[in-house]
Amino acid sequence: MRSVVSPIRAETAGTAGTPGTPGPGPALEVSAFRAAMGSFPTGVAVVTVASGDGDLHGVTVNSFSSVSLDPMLVSVCLNQAGRGFGLIERAGAFAVNVLAAGQQDVSRWFADRSRPAGPAMFDGVPFEPGLTGCPVLAGAAASFDCRLWQSHRAGDHLIVLGEVVAVVHRPQLAPLTFHAGTYKALEHAPLPSVAQLHAVR
């Protein structure tokens, strides 16, 4: 199997014998970085928020992770250019809705830049207010209602940490997954054993 090797920025990798030292070398292309990241399958979630003045917002993300059990913390990454984090700061809360396998249309809708702003964004999308007042989407595989804990700027995104105060879990629903730029369904075939993996090397 052929591997594709892309150069790493000299400012990051440094030159031989001097880690982190800038040096000559080709820059890593964004397209190559994105393509390589696409080899990592993820779930798909919609981050939702409701501010005190009745404004609503939702955005599709696949950068969602558990962080801590004590306290129960999760993280999501949001584009700094989006309006979602401003609303989260005002509300002091947000919800993360892990989409089920049949919710590709919901994922596409909340990723569509032409969707209307405010409450109209949720027209036709069934939800109920969670404990924090943020929209908890109907039919999601799981929803995590969170109070804003911290946020950290990281490049062109914000890493947003939330303390989980309520959970909805529907274990009978398979999650929606995303891999190499397309939605995928989980296959339930048994995984190969370690011995089988070694045999094909």
Query: What total number of domains does the chain contain?
Result: 2
> What is the average pLDDT across 118-145?
97
Residue of higher predicted confidence among 192 and 33: 33
Residue of higher predicted confidence among 47 and 151: 47
Cβ-contact 139, 126 below 8 angstroms? yes
Please report where in the chains the tokens 């993360």 appear, as a residue.
96
Q: Strand pairing partners for 49?
A: 57
Q: 31: domain range?
A: 1-38
Residues 58 and 146 in one domain: yes
- Output the pLDDT for position 151: 83
Q: What is the amino acid identity at position 177?
A: T
Q: How far is CA 167 from CA 51, 100, 103, 173, in A?
A: 20, 15, 19, 15
Residues 53 and 23 in one domain: no
Residues 84 and 170 in one domain: yes
Residues 24 and 114 in one domain: no
- Domain of 98, CATH number, reads 2.30.110.10
CA 182/CA 44 separation, integer angstroms: 11
Name which of 19-33, 125-139, 168-182 the model is least confident about: 19-33
In a domain, 195, yes or no: no
How many other CB atoms are there within 10 angstroms of residue 142's CB atom? 18
How many other CB atoms are there within 10 angstroms of residue 151's CB atom? 16
